[in-house]
Amino acid sequence: MSQVLVVEDEAAIAELIAINLRHAGHEVVLAASAEQAQDQVDAVLPDLILLDWMLPGQSGIMLARQWRQSARTRDLPIIMLTARAEESDKIVGLDAGADDYLTKPFSTGELLARVRALLRRSAPDALDAPVEVGPLRLDPATHRVSRAGTEVKVGPTEFRLLHFFMTHPERVHSRSQLLDRVWGDHVFIEERTVDVHVKRLREALAPADCAAMIETVRGAGYRFTAGITPH
Ligand code: CA
């Protein structure tokens, strides 16, 4: 599941975009101004930003330029949204650092296709491909985790954590690495939060006899491994 930040001051358009993105399985955060967008980005780095060109106060173009100049936000995938359709304006948008460009009015299908394409280019982890490690299967498209056809119930954060573990198995991840990769660089979260969610994930996996797939590596962090006892 990817988090998409929608920066759009027209509430009706923002809501329409949000509904469609949520329906497609994305987590959506809304911002109605450049200031709100900056606050959101300071708190959590999203996986992708839909950025309206014309905003009250600072424009989307200025915001994109600003993000491209900061090391933390340099690689943020950005799709500019705008009513301007002229070729020269598109060039200004792309020069400011937008990765792609959508001219209003756009169809839902085109919006979702562009979001998918940019996520695929920028974050292979966000791909909807099912992952299998040992007996465990996780399907990001349907948000299901299962072992031998039996469903395992996990909460949203545990799902993201498990997805990261399963796409990066047999490696030790420190708590700060997990915070960066799973919580998206959230500056307010303490490292022990990771332990809480690992505990919950183990509890969720226990009925499927998969809790032992998450190993605690003393003084280092956690490792997800396929080598567990048979069912
Ligand atoms: Ca606008």
In the DSSP assignment, the letter for residue 149 is T
Q: What is the pLDDT of residue 230?
A: 46
Q: What is the pLDDT of residues 94-106, one digit of tens each?
A: 778 888 888 888 9
Q: What is the pLDDT of residue 89?
A: 76
Q: What is the pLDDT of residue 28?
A: 94
Q: What is the pLDDT of residue 72?
A: 83
Q: From the CA of 200, how far away is ligand 1's center (Å)? A: 42
Q: From the CA of 54, how far away is ligand 1's center (Å)? A: 4
* CATH code, 38: 3.40.50.2300
Q: Which of 122, 148, 173 is the last residue of a domain?
A: 122
Q: Which of 102, 122, 142 is the last residue of a domain?
A: 122
Count of structural domains within the chain: 2
Q: What is the pLDDT of residue 64?
A: 94
Same structural domain for residues 118 and 138? no
Same structural domain for residues 54 and 101? yes
Classify 106 as helix, strand or coil.
Answer: coil
Burial class (CB in 10 A: 0-12, 13-18, 19+), 128: middle
DSSP 10-63: -HHHHHHHHHHHHHTT-EEEEESSHHHHHHHHHH---SEEEEES--SSS-HHHH
Q: Where in the sequence is the domain holding 103, given as residue range(s)? A: 3-122
Q: Is the alpha carbon torsion for 217, 220, 222, 228 positive or negative?
A: negative
Q: What is the pLDDT of residue 231?
A: 43
Q: Position of tokens 């988090």?
A: 3
Q: What is the pLDDT of residue 58?
A: 93
- Mean pLDDT per 10-residue segment, the chain (231 residues): 91 95 92 96 90 92 92 88 76 82 89 89 67 92 90 92 90 86 70 92 95 94 78 43
Q: What is the pLDDT of residue 37?
A: 97
Same structural domain for residues 67 and 156? no
pTM: 0.57
* CATH code, 193: 1.10.10.10
Q: From the CA of 98, how far away is ligand 1's center (Å)? A: 16
Q: What is the pLDDT of residue 206?
A: 95
**Could you give the strand order of the β-sheet that contains 131-133, starting from the edge strand earlier in sequence?**
131-133, 136-139, 144-147, 150-152
Is 100:64 a contact under the CB 8 Å cutoff? no
Q: From the CA of 64, how far away is ligand 1's center (Å)? A: 15
Q: From the CA of 37, how far away is ligand 1's center (Å)? A: 13
Same structural domain for residues 168 and 73? no
